[in-house]
Chain A
Amino acid sequence: MTSLSKKFGSVFVINDITLQVKKNEIFGFLGPNGAGKSTTMMILATLLKPTSGIVTINDFNIVSHPEKVREHIGYVQQEITVDEYLTGRENLILQSRLNHIPKNVAKERIDEILKLIELENKQNDLVITYSGGMRKRLDIAGSLLHKPKVLFLDEPTVGLDIQTRKKIWEHIKKIRSNFKTTIFLSTHYMEEADELCDRIAIIEKGKIKVIDSPITLKKNFGSEILNIITETNIESIKSAPEIVHIKKSVNEMILKNKTIKISSTNCTKILPLLIKSLLKLEIEIDSISMYPPTLNDVFIKYTGKTIDQENVTYNMKREYRRLRNIKK
């Protein structure tokens, strides 16, 4: 995809995105709510037309050959779209009919996929009796029936508890290896991007900040993070010569309220130096911690903020209201 943009009204929701997803990789789109992830997904799934830019999936242009593209893709929407008043199996039968899969082939595939997704035992129960995680798995299963080469998963584990999410991650990995599917997923969960994706793109306000593998991103960040919490506010010592000196020798140093955060390749050397300086400046230390950088640290570096987990927990009603207001 090259220079993809999408405007709603006069606002650019996606702004000049360029990226390439490799065959059989799991590519993650990591960004906060409203970053433009779902919009991008919908464009890729041929449900929305881009304002500008060129996108090809398996060599087919999404604008000029949407039918060809649809043959090759599976798309699982952010909302759970299975039919509550049908059984699990009936949902899959419906999906196979929508995809014009002949009956005998469909039967075999449904059996195979139900097994993979571990819903064999519940297949004849109404979906209304399923848990959120089971519904999502069924939804994913439905998108696999026509054996798509590329699978789009829009926030596949949003709103689910951690055990359920881990289970879905396992399934996603299994799908990739069993069906040789290329997977493009979006998420606002750091752990999900970290655990699941070969490469990620950090996206914020419709712009891509960086694309790389989580490992490289973390490595490039500086090998370690040093976090010191003090008893008193340290804003006043910002310009003390000792501190300025230390700041010069590290990748990044942030002083704010009562915390000092340093990222550096040799924190072990920096630490004694810093303690000495703090004592000299008569700053009491409350606690010290040192850890390898997380994706969250990387995310903060590129976007200047963290994804506030409290605020982004998926709220369907709120999301719907938000969309409705825009679309009026």
Chain B
Amino acid sequence: MNILYDIYSIVWREVKRYSKSKFGVLIRLIQPLIWIIVVGNTFTETSPLIASVGFSGDYMQFITPGIIILTAIFTSIFGGVNTLWDRRYGFINKVLISPISRSSIALGKMIAISIIATVQSCLILGISFLIGVAIPTYFNLLFVITVIILFSLGFSGISVIVASLARSQETFWATINFLGMPLFMLSPALFPLELLPPWLSTVAKLNPVTYTIILIRDVMNEQTNTNHLEIGLFIIICFAFIITIIASFVFTRDMKKPF
């Protein structure tokens, strides 16, 4: 039970820090909002194109899941950066000489980042409701949020891995940018996969972001084919689980080295 208490302590710290920064909350919303406003309005004419691959709603309805996941990706993949500060300014040393369990540090960090990313994504979801995007039932909403939590957990793991291995801010940001954008672009976030050239769409099918977006889009638009849904959910759970294990291993191993 101690490990749960320890994880909670770390989560408490991270979330407390996040909640102190109202400015940070707002600033994280700006980028996804620009996407919604610019992309959402620029491509409204593409509705027939999207309809041709079997999507019945308008374009705004189509990209909202993509933008929500954009928010989740970037909030969580940037989230690990404070690991670098924590090592640099001795917080990690402080934790290492306390009796707290080692693995709880990485897990706590990931859970906290995932919570923060989910909150940010839900704010975007809320805003999209205001501009007319709809979701069928409360159950579907709950399902979407669960998927976002799992997805963000996986991406926070990626962030923590990069932060553990990167010895400098520069390396961290270079790697994160190298990973983040392609993962987002190579997914059906803005356009259906069917419109991509076949080789690109094959690559996109290896991307966990693809499954997450398809899953959320289906659930938000009641185009649910249960079989499809279970596979998507399974993939996302596996993704989150595997990354979490790797991240806590890498983090715990690396923290012991002097920085």
Chain A residues with CB under 8 Å of chain B are: 42, 45-48, 67, 70-71, 73, 75, 77, 79-81, 83, 85-86, 90, 94-95, 97-100, 126, 142, 320, 324, 327-328
- Chain B residues with CB under 8 A of A98: 9, 94-95, 98-100
Q: Are B9 and A46 touching (Cβ within 8 A)?
A: no
Contact of A90 among B16, B88, B94, B96 (CB under 8 A): B16
Q: What's the Cα separation between A221 and B151 when bound, in Å? A: 69
Nearest-neighbour CB distance to chain A for B126, whole angstroms, equals 25
Interface string of B232-258 (1 = CB under 8 A from A): 000000000000000000000000001
Which 9 interchain pairs have the tightest Cβ spacing? Answer: A81-B90, A98-B98, A97-B9, A77-B90, A85-B17, A79-B90, A85-B20, A98-B100, A70-B97
A328 surroundings in chain B (CB, below 8 A): 167
Nearest-CB distance from B187 to chain A (Å)?
Answer: 33
- In the complex, the answer to whether B96 meets A47 with C-beta atoms within 8 Å is yes
CB <8 Å contact, A320 and B17: no
- Contact check, B95 vs A77: say whether CB atoms are below 8 A apart: no
10 contacts between A and B (CB under 8 A): A47-B93, A48-B258, A81-B90, A86-B16, A94-B9, A94-B12, A95-B94, A100-B99, A320-B88, A327-B258
A259, B20: Cα distance in complex, Å:
60
Query: Residues of B contacting A95 with CB < 8 Å?
Result: 94, 98
For the complex, is B259 an interface residue (Cβ under 8 Å from A)?
Answer: yes
* Shortest distance from the beta carbon of A146 to any chain B beta carbon, whole Å: 8
User: Given the known A-B contacts A81-B89, A81-B94, A327-B258, are A71 and B99 also in contact in the complex, defined by CB atoms under 8 Å?
Assistant: yes
A319 to chain B, nearest CB (A): 11
Q: Which of B9, B13, B93, B94 has the most CB of A within 10 A?
A: B94
Contact A83/B91 with A67-B99, A99-B98 known, Cβ cut-off 8 Å: yes
In the assembly, what is the distance between CA of A47 and CA of B168, in Å?
A: 21
Known: A77-B90, A77-B93, A85-B21; 17 extra A-B contacts, CB below 8 A, are A47-B97, A70-B97, A70-B99, A73-B97, A77-B94, A79-B89, A80-B89, A81-B89, A81-B93, A83-B13, A83-B91, A86-B17, A94-B9, A98-B99, A98-B100, A100-B2, A324-B167
B residues lining the A interface (CB < 8 Å): 2, 5, 9, 12-13, 16-17, 20-21, 88-91, 93-100, 167-168, 258-259
B97 CB contact (under 8 Å) in A75, A79, A83, A126: A75
- Asked if A83 and B99 sit within 8 Å, CB to CB, the answer is no
Q: Are A97 and B17 in contact, CB atoms less than 8 angstroms apart?
A: no
Q: Determine the distance from Cα of A48 to Cα of B91 in the docked complex, in whole angstroms.
A: 16
For residue B91, which residues in chain A have a CB less than 8 angstroms away from its CB?
A: 81, 83
User: How many A-B contacts at CB < 8 Å in the complex?
Assistant: 71
Which residues of A lie under 8 Å from residue B90 when comparing CB positions?
77, 79, 81
Task: Collect the chain B residues with CB atoms within 8 Å of residue A85's CB.
Answer: 16-17, 20-21
In the complex, which of the residues B5, B13, B96, B97 contacts A94, with contact meaning CB atoms closer than 8 Å?
A: B13
Minimum CB distance partner of B99 in chain A:
A100
| Cβ distance A51 to chain B, nearest Cβ, rounded Å | 14
Q: In the complex, what residues of A have CB within 8 A of residue B88's CB?
A: 320
Q: B89 contacts which chain A residues (CB < 8 A)?
A: 79-81
A81 to chain B, nearest CB (A): 4
Inside 8 A of A99's CB, which chain B residues have their CB?
Answer: 98-99
The residues of B that contact A47 with a CB separation of less than 8 Å are 93, 96-97, 258
Please measure, in the bound complex, the distance between the C-alpha atom of A75 and the C-alpha atom of B90, giving whole angstroms.
11
Which residues of A are found within 8 Å of B17, using beta-carbon distances? 83, 85-86
Chain A residues within 8 Å of B9, by CB = 94, 97-98
Please, how many angstroms separate the alpha-carbon atoms of A126 and B22 in the complex?
Answer: 14
Q: How far is the CA of A100 from the CA of B9 in the complex (A)?
A: 10
Q: Which residues of B have CB within 8 Å of A45?
A: 93, 97
Considering the chains assembled together, what is the distance between the CA atoms of A86 and B12 in angstroms? Answer: 11
For A73, what are the chain B residues with a Cβ–Cβ distance below 8 Å? 97
Bound: A208/B96 CA distance, A: 28
Give chain A nearest CB distance to B103 CB in angstroms: 15
Note all chain B residues with C-beta closer than 8 A to A79. 89-90
